[in-house]
Each structure stands twice: as structure tokens, then as C-alpha cells.
Amino acid sequence: MTIQIQNNNIFLKDIGKGDPILFLHGVPDTSDIWNGIICQLKEDYRCIAPDWPGFGRSDSGTFLDCSLNGHADFVNELSNTIGLKKPFNLVAHDFGGISAMAFVSKYPERVHRFIISNAPFSPDYKWHFWAKIWRTPVLGKLSLIAMKKIIFYYAIRQGSRKLNRDQINAAYRYFTPKMKQMILRMYRALPEKVWQDWNVRLLEATSKVPMLILWGQNDPYLPNWLPEMYGAKKIRRYKDSGHWVPLEEKEEFVKELRSFFSA
């Protein structure tokens, strides 16, 4: 289905019945990253997974505010539009985790519980290699133009050795000029210093809103001390998994989600 958010047509999966869970994907993914998890939850939960503006089947999001305030407000408007009036559960990965933590920091009263997988949100974190390139004028654009299928494949495999070719090919299907442009905008809107005030707000929020972190330890993009910085109620680490825990540890992800959201 498609809904209108901030003058953008946003593609949205809305599957199942029960307590709602909003799923937010990261870079360079789409809502499809959650398919294997949603299929196991749809009998017990209403699973809602959008394609972020500029990604997948959603509009380009040309005028989207890519600041942390913009991310928080977009998630807030999206949740209002789909009728999530009561505090709801939230699950997010990678850049979707940034959006989610910004949203919880600004609107803690809107969230019941939330789960984050491999996402940065700390003033002590320095952007990873690819992010630094994408944040660099001219070089960032050229790097994405040059990132053809074989380079894309090895970049993803570097992040998660357990992913197979079909999973990577599924992501590459949507690696379009529209997505590449949004990737540049998103990373360039967040200088490293931006985390300083927001991390304080996140800690205030997580003192009230229960948070679970599901973390792949073999992530070349994110250091393993990051989960300790968010005030999470619980941290579950996967020593043999990399950046894409929702794909690498699907069964464990579902198990932890059910336990945490039913507590």
C-alpha cells in the first residue's frame, strides 16, 4: 500500500493483526529486510514496515529534512498517519536505528518498547570508511556512481560474512540513483558532533522506555562498545554475526523480540 507523508508517496507493508510493531530499515536496504521476521510474527502482531523516502518503492523525498529532528518528526507523522495513537513497539536497524533513536529521544511517550540492531548514536563514534567518503563532496557522488554490482556485493559481504548471494542481490535490486542521492543527503546531514546533545536526550528517554539491543559483534562499520552508550535494558550480542543481524540471526531475532515485547 502507499500513504502520503510530507508530500511523499511512501510504500508501506501493513501485515497481520495484534499489537503494532513499526519496523525501520537502514542503508542500503528496504522494508524487504524484515520479510523473514514479519512472516513469523504476523499471526500475533500487526507488522508495519515502510520504505524510507528515497528507498525502494517510495518517492525520492527531495525535500525531506534529513537532520535528526527531521528523522524524528517523519517517524512521528508516519505513525500518526497509520493510526498508532497508543504507545507502540518499534524495531530498527542501521540508519533506521538512528531514525528510531531520534524519534524515541524526542517523543518518548509514543513508544512502549523498542529494539535496535547495529546503529550508531554516540558523540564518541566516528563515521566508518564509506560514510566518510559519502560525506565528502564530489568523491561521495563518484563513489556511488562507481559502485556497480560486484563492488556492492563485496561491500555488503564485508559487513556480514553470513549473507548469501541471493540476499545481497535482493538489496542491489533497489540500489538506484534515487537511493544513492538520498544516501548522500542522509550522511551529509549528520556531522559527528550532532550526537552530543541527542545522546543525552536518548539516555533520558531510555531511563523510562525499555530498550533491547541485538548486536552483531563482527561489524566492520561499528565498534562493539556502542551498545553500552544507549542506556539499554538488555544487550544481546552475536559473536559470529556482522552488521545485518536481522538477516543473519532471523530466528534468534524473532525469539528475542517476542520475549521482550511480551514482558
Nearest in space to 134 (alpha carbons), one of 124, 145, 118: 145
Nearest in space to 230 (alpha carbons), one of 132, 129, 123, 131: 123
DSSP alpha helices (H): ranges in the chain?
Answer: 35-41, 68-81, 95-106, 129-134, 139-146, 149-159, 165-172, 177-188, 195-206, 245-248, 250-262
Three-class SS of residue 213? strand
Res 218: pLDDT: 97
pLDDT tens-digit series, residues 79-114: 999 999 999 999 999 999 999 999 999 999 999 999
Res 2: pLDDT: 93
Give the whole-angstrom CA distance, residue 25 versus residue 230. Answer: 19
Query: Vertex 173, ends 59 and 154: CA angle to 5°?
Result: 125
Residue 263 has pLDDT above 90, yes or no: no
Distances (CA, A) of 88 to 78, 105, 167, 201, 240: 13, 15, 29, 19, 31
pLDDT tens-digit series, residues 186-221: 999 999 999 999 999 999 999 999 999 999 999 999
| The amino acid at 256 | E
Query: Vertex 242, ends 176 and 224: CA angle to 5°?
Result: 115
| The amino acid at 151 | I
Residue 72: alpha-carbon gap to chain centroid: 13
Cell of 107: 517523543
Percent of the chain with pLDDT over 70: 100
Average pLDDT, stretch 231-258? 97
> Which residues make beta-bridge pairs with 117?
93
Which domains does the chain show, CATH number per domain? 2-126+192-262 (3.40.50.1820)
Q: What is the mean pLDDT of the chain?
A: 96
Res 231: pLDDT: 96
Cell of 189: 546531514
Nearest in space to 111 (alpha carbons), one of 154, 76, 60, 135: 76
- The secondary structure of 237-263 as a DSSP string is EETT--S-HHHHTHHHHHHHHHHHHH-
User: Do 5 and 52 meet the contact criterion of CB atoms below 8 Å apart?
Assistant: no
